[in-house]
Structure 1
Amino acid sequence: MAQSSSSRRRTVLWGVAAGLAGAAGIGLSLRHAKDAALAVVDPVPGFWAQQWQTPHDTTLAMAELKGRPVLINFWATWCPPCVDELPLLDSFYREQGSRGIQVLGLAIDRKEAVVPFLKKLPLSFPVAMAGLSGADLGRALGNITGGLPFSVLVASDGSIAQRKMGRVTESDLAAWVAVK
């Protein structure tokens, strides 16, 4: 029994509609997969939602740094190795900042100590007052002893690329430049 012309047309139209629907579904799933691959993860829960006051009474939000490599240095004015490494970190930031690497100093200290300290040793990179909550963040990022200085390099995808307990060296920083 032969199909009528209108029946064949209907079958073809249904076939075309099914093909378009399938293509649209594949396209949406590929887009979703691409968006998921580009999503920046939290190295610890709530990481990108963190905000701190700066020594200059402004707010520094981690969300502003999201999607770029960020070298976070936990330090204090009363910590000699911390103070010793700050000029090296400042030099690194001045050399690499234009290439997308951000440096953030989180002071595990009081504002009353940090403000005069930064007048004597100005830094080019942002500094925020993390206080004791900064020590908690450091532990969550892998500083199980709570010692200082402690540095963490967060890659642009939010993963932890490097951790360093103790003073960073020029060779550490040279190796970390390759992290994206």
Structure 2
Amino acid sequence: MLRRTLIKALGATPLASVPLAHAAPQVPVPVPAIGAPLALPDVPLFDGGHFRAAQAEGQVVLIYWWASWCPYCAEQTPLMQKLWDEQRPRGLKMLGLSIDKREEDARRYLARRGYTFPTGITTPAIDRVLPRPSKALPMTLVRGRDGRVVMAEKGQLFPEDVAQIARFV
């Protein structure tokens, strides 16, 4: 009877969502609120350089989480590259963060498509300072000159949405 009661109680709940006794609970990270302060980590970049948080102080910073396997990222990333190319001379700083499990997949993806915006890969150390909100990809944040969030969007942006990021620079 206990087994039947348990199965009935679970109903349509997928077994993957049933917490295991030994698994640490995953707490979803909310999207930062507009106006909230946003700390930035130092990030080693694929090109051998470093994104330095101290050098981004007083600058508009675009943070873009993506993955090589994400179809929505494949649509949005060319727009982000175009924005980077157009707004970098005006002072836009950008930090792409790949969530790929293998760095070589992310590097190959960027090289094949000719993307040059500054990019590194997420690590537990980076996630401690700047955790990726929710599970949605792509994820786009803009930090204003005052160090506070001026835009936070999860999911794919339309071309006009990406173009509007330029108003913050």
What is the TM-score when the length of structure 2 is the normalising length? 0.69
Counterpart of 1:156, as a letter, is R
Q: Is 1:121 the counterpart of 2:113 in the alignment?
A: yes
Counterpart of 1:43, as a letter, is P
Q: Which runs of 5+ in 1 are unaligned?
A: 1-40
> Which is helix-richer, 1 or 2?
1
Q: Which residue of structure 2 aligns with residue 97 of structure 1?
A: 88
Report how many residues are paired. Answer: 133
Give the deviation of 1:133 after TM superposition: 5.2
Asked if the contact 2:110–2:116 (Cα under 8 Å) also holds between the matched residues in 1, the reply is: no
Give the deviation of 1:92 after TM superposition: 0.8
1:27-176 equivalences under 5 Å are 43-44=37-38, 47-48=39-40, 50-109=41-100, 110-131=102-123, 137-139=130-132, 143=133, 145-176=134-165
1:87-107, Cα deviation, whole Å (9 max, x unpaired): 110001111111112222111
Structure 2 distance, partners of 1:147, 1:103, is 19
Structure 1 distance, partners of 2:61, 2:155, is 18
Check 1:85–1:100 CA distance in 2 against 1; reply closer, same or farther (3 A cut). same
- Aligned-residue RMSD, C-alpha: 2.3
Structure 1 distance, partners of 2:68, 2:85, is 21
Structure ranking higher on relative contact order (CA contacts 8 Å, 6+ apart): 2
Structure 2 distance, partners of 1:147, 1:174, is 21
Identity of counterpart residues, as a percentage?
A: 28
Q: Which residue of structure 2 aligns with residue 22 of structure 1?
A: none
Check 1:135–1:75 CA distance in 2 against 1; reply closer, same or farther (3 A cut). farther
Asked if the contact 1:107–1:134 (Cα under 8 Å) also holds between the matched residues in 2, the reply is: no
What is the TM-score when the length of structure 1 is the normalising length? 0.65
Give the deviation of 1:79 after TM superposition: 1.1
SS for the counterpart of 2:167 is coil
Check 1:128–1:67 CA distance in 2 against 1; reply closer, same or farther (3 A cut). same
Higher alpha-carbon Rg: 1
Q: Which runs of 5+ in 2 are unaligned?
A: 1-34
